[in-house]
Amino acid sequence: MLGARAALARPATPAEGPRAVASALALVGNTPLVEIMRVRDGIAPGVRILGKLEGFNPGGSVKDRPALKMIEDGLARGLLVDGKTILDSTSGNTGIALAMVGAALGYPVELVMPGNVSKERKEVVAAFGARVIYSDPLEGSDGAIRLCRKILAEHPERYFKPDQYNNPANTLAHYETTGPEIWRQTEGAVTHFVAAIGTGGTIMGTGRYLKERNPAVQVIAAEPDDAFHGLEGLKHMASSIVPGIFHEEELDRKVGVSTEDAYNMVYRLAREEGLLLGQSSGAAHVVALGIARTLREGTVVVIFPDFGDRYLSTNLWRGWQPPRDALG
Amino acid sequence: MVQVKIPTPLRKYTAGAGGVEADGATVGALVDDLERRYPGLKERICDEAGQVRRFVNIFVNGEDIRFLGHLDTALKPGDELSIVPAIAGGR
């Protein structure tokens, strides 16, 4: 099998690290990079594509980083104190991350989610002990944002709202962790950074750090190509409440991806790379491939925000059949 | 007439209306009628082959048409049909 030997290559020395850590929170970050060996059609040999597997975070997604940072910041500034509940609106991974961090620190968590988030997400959040309030599915994540604002306005004294869309600690989490990790893991070789935009925290914070280290690094955002899409967690900025932390002028490019192309990329990455990822990873990889095809050499790092097992009940996989030619 | 609930991202086709009326003996016929009344809407709901896009869910009185008769699901006056993107945007 072409590339099988490379896929089996192991590091010369095993990764070193402490045998045990003090809590789940100490496991946030330091996620691995994996080289994409097969789903790289039309790419010059001098171009590498490296996926950062954020599913390795303890809460299962990239959102552990901002959730932890925003709560640490709230504690440090005295905004989150005993007796308060952590409240935010989320369509999924941030809710899981806040529920995980809240559980680890002993703070109650309430989350406003659109009624059409995936079944797995609802169940994971409940397993961490968080309370979920559902908003109108027809209004998407903006409906959850509005309902959350209303709940907070009625009882501001009860809650600490991390407010991932407007909290600079979201961006800072990536500036302090994701960016330096990528720089270190590529030994400064990264030339292009690709991430899909939900709040914009990942691309803003990581992009800022990488550009400080090397102003030539290109920062490219992937977004749904239309307001009506099926890419959980992602925002079509032109039709959305634009997050306060999102500053489009800091991006080099923003590329639209259709839901169908992103879904098809998820299927390919699972079957050809052994990487079962979520739809936002599919969207990001579509853009990473497009960028990589324009290069003769370079190192493209793409964020894979989570693994795909959380989406097995969603339309991404429901009713999916292997393509005819794959059945032999 | 069937009551149709339109999600926010598609309301640009319905002059901002979140609820509209349309006619059809089946979901497929109703989608065609929606297209006559609000040109451009069908392409957002169905792919080139005329099938409901993978990320779109259509509910008739709260039941997903994938578990009924897909586009052949029968409709009667007074039914309520909702068009819902499978997933909500923005984490």
Task: Identify the pLDDT of residue A116.
Answer: 77
A36-90: pLDDT as tens digits: 999 999 999 999 999 999 999 999 999 999 999 999 999 999 999 999 999 998 8
Q: Are residues A201 and A86 in the same domain?
A: no
What pLDDT band is residue A325 in, cutting at 50, 70 and 90?
low
In a shared domain, residues A104 and A234: no
Q: Residue A232 is nearest to which of B6, B9, B88, comparing CB atoms?
A: B88
Q: Is the ipTM of this complex over 0.90?
A: no
For residue B83, the SS3 value is strand
Shared domain for A103 and A41, answered yes or no, is no
Q: Are residues A72 and A56 in the same domain?
A: no
Q: What is the CATH number of the domain that holds B35?
A: 3.10.20.30
Q: Which domain holds residue A103?
A: 64-160
The two three-digit tokens of residue B58, written as one number: 């259509």
Query: What pLDDT is stored for residue A229 in this prediction?
Result: 85
On whether the pTM is more than 0.80, the answer is yes
Mean pLDDT of A9-14: 58
Categorize the per-residue pLDDT at A6 as very low, low, confident or very high, splitting at 50, 70 and 90.
low
Q: Determine which of A22-31, A217-226, A231-240 has the lowest per-residue pLDDT on average.
A: A231-240
Answer whether A191's CB lies under 8 Å from A218's CB.
yes
Instruction: Return the pLDDT at A4.
Output: 66
- Tell me if A263 and B55 make a contact (CB, 8 A cut-off): yes
Residue B89's pLDDT is 42
Q: What is the rounded average pLDDT of the residues A317-323? A: 68
Last residue of a domain, one of A114, A131, A160: A160
Average pLDDT over residues A14-21: 69
Shared domain for A81 and A49, answered yes or no, is: no
Number of domains in chain B: 1
Mean pLDDT to the nearest integer, A279-298? 97
**Average pLDDT over chain A, rounded to an integer:** 91
Annotation says A280 is catalytic: yes
Chain B residues with CB within 8 Å of chain A CB: 5-10, 12, 18, 44, 47, 53-57, 66, 82, 84-91
Confidence of residue A314 (pLDDT cuts 50, 70, 90): confident
**Inside any domain, residue A279:** yes
| Confidence (pLDDT) at A237 | 85
Claim to verify: residue A49 and residue A69 sit in the same structural domain = no
Number of structural domains chain A divides into: 2
Residue A181 resides in a domain: yes
pLDDT at B13: 95
- Cα separation of A61 and A306, whole Å? 5
Amino acid identity at A189:
A
Has residue A327 been placed in a domain? no
CA distance B90 to chain A (A): 4
Sign of CA dihedral A117, A118, A119, A124: negative
In this structure, are A35 and A176 located in the same domain?
A: yes
The answer to whether A259 and A229 are in contact (CB under 8 A) is yes
- CA closest to A320 among chain B residues: B54
| Closest-CA residue to A132 (of A87, A84, A100, A82) | A87
CB contacts, 8 Å: A228 with chain B? 7, 9-10, 44, 85
- What Rg, from alpha-carbon coordinates, does chain A have? 19
Is 90 exceeded by the pLDDT of residue A3? no
Cβ-based neighbour number of residue A150 at 10 Å: 11
- Kindly tell me if the per-residue pLDDT of A327 is higher than 50: no
Please state the rounded mean pLDDT for residues A243-266.
Answer: 95
Residue A166 lies in a domain: no
> Quick one: average pLDDT of A215-231?
92
Point out the catalytic residue in the list A52, A61, A63, A91.
A63
Q: What is the pLDDT of residues A137-148, one digit of tens each?
A: 888 778 888 999
Q: Cα dihedral angle (B14, B16, B19, B22), rounded to 10 degrees?
A: -10
| Residue A197 contacts residue A222 (beta carbons within 8 Å) | yes
A218 and A87 fall within a common domain: no
Q: Which chain A residues touch B54 with a CB distance below 8 Å?
A: 230, 259-260, 263, 315-316
Single-letter code of the amino acid located at A41: D
Closest-CA residue of A relative to B57 is: A315
User: Does A252 lie in the same domain as A108?
Assistant: no
pLDDT (tens digit per residue) in A111-126: 999 887 777 888 899 9
Q: Chain B within 8 Å of A57 (Cβ-Cβ)?
A: no
Distance CA B57, CA A124 (A): 23
Check residue A230 and give its pLDDT. Answer: 82
Q: Is B24 helix (H, G, I), strand (E, B) or coil?
A: coil
Nearest CA distance, A91 vs chain B (angstrom): 5
Q: Are the Cβ atoms of B90 and A141 closer than 8 angstroms?
A: yes
The answer as to whether A269 is a domain residue is yes
Which residues on neighbouring strands pair with residue A52, listed in sequence order? A33, A303
Instruction: Mark whether A211 and A71 lie in a shared domain.
Output: no
Kindly state the percentage of chain A with pLDDT values over 90.
73
Binary contact (B91, A316; C-beta < 8 A): no
3-state secondary structure B27-58: HHHHHHHHHHHCCCHHHHHECCCCCECCCEEE
Q: Which residue in the set B54, B57, B88 is minimally distant from A260, CB to CB?
A: B54
Taking 70 as the pLDDT cut, the residues of chain B under it are 87-91
pLDDT of residue A216 exceeding 80: yes
The β-bridge partners of B5 are: B19, B82
Q: Is the pLDDT of residue A266 over 80?
A: yes
Both tokens assigned to A73: 């910041």
Q: Is the pLDDT of residue A247 over 60?
A: yes
Number of residues assigned to chain B? 91
Q: State in Å, rounded, how far the first CA of chain A is from the last one.
A: 17
**Do A176 and A83 fall into the same domain?**
no
pLDDT confidence tier of residue A324, bands split at 50, 70 and 90: low
- Contact predicate A199/B91, CB 8 Å: yes
Q: Look up residue B20 and give its two tokens.
A: 């509209």
CB distance A76 to A70 below 8 Å: no
Distances (CA, A) of B36 to A12, A88, B49, B54, B56: 65, 41, 18, 23, 20
Looking at the fold, whether A102 and A247 belong to one and the same domain comes out as no
CATH number at residue A43: 3.40.50.1100
Report if residue B28 sits inside a domain: yes
| Region of poorest pLDDT, from A122-126, A185-189, A285-289 | A122-126
Residue B35 lies inside a defined structural domain of this protein: yes
Q: Is residue B91 included in any domain, yes or no?
A: no
A94: how many CB neighbours lie within 10 A of its CB? 31
Q: What is the pLDDT of residue A72?
A: 97
Q: Is A61 a catalytic residue?
A: no
Residue A255 has which token pair? 């590329």
User: Which residues form the domain of B64?
Assistant: 2-85
Give dist(CA A161, CA A148) in Å, integer. Answer: 9
pLDDT greater than 80 at residue A15: no
Secondary structure of chain A in HEC code, one letter for each residue? CCCHHHHHCCCCCCCCCCCCCCCHHHHCCCCCEEECCCCCCCCCCEEEEEEEEHHHCCCCECCHHHHHHHHHHHHHCCCCCCCCEEEEECCCHHHHHHHHHHHHHCCCEEEEEECCCCHHHHHHHHHCCCEEEEECHHHHHHHHHHHHHHHHHHCHHHEECCCCCCCHHHHHHHHHHHHHHHHHHCCCCCCEEEEECCCCHHHHHHHHHHHHHCCCCEEEEEEECCCCCCCCCCCCHHHCCCCCCCCHHHCCEEEEECHHHHHHHHHHHHHHHCCCECHHHHHHHHHHHHHHCCCCEEEEEEEECEEHHHHCCCCCCCCCCCCHHHCC
